[in-house]
Amino acid sequence: AQPPVYFVVLDVSYYANASGLVPAVVSTIRETLDQLILANPHTRFGIITYDRTLHFYNLKSHLSQPQMVVVSDLEESFLPFPECTTCICESRDIIDLLLERLPSMFAHNIVGETCLG
């Protein structure tokens, strides 16, 4: 059987930050990861953030820190990594590092519009 996959798509535009959405979602994800692992140790996780561009994250366990790739051409968008999800158990440190950094990474984002309209 295939392991469960949780994929988060998070708005990090100015208005999402101003409303407190980004820290609230990040906090909820952090609180939930242990429960997901307990339910199935092979559970996979991925995240994309967006404003007027898409931000993909490489969270593979062999990395020392998360890698972010920005895709600005939405007409010809692509997946920059062969796999955009990773096993939570194997990559927990990298996932935690990204979640710790996400609110500050976009805290001063002045982009108000989003690629979703």
Summarised one tens digit per residue, pLDDT across range 57-82 is 999 999 999 999 998 877 777 777 77
Residue 117 has pLDDT above 70, yes or no: no
The answer for residues whose C-beta is within 8 angstroms of residue 57's C-beta and 6 or more apart is 46, 47, 48, 49, 66, 67, 68, 69, 98
Summarised one tens digit per residue, pLDDT across range 5-61 is 999 999 999 899 899 999 999 999 999 999 999 999 999 999 999 988 899 999 999
Rounded Cα gap, residues 37 and 101, in angstroms:
22
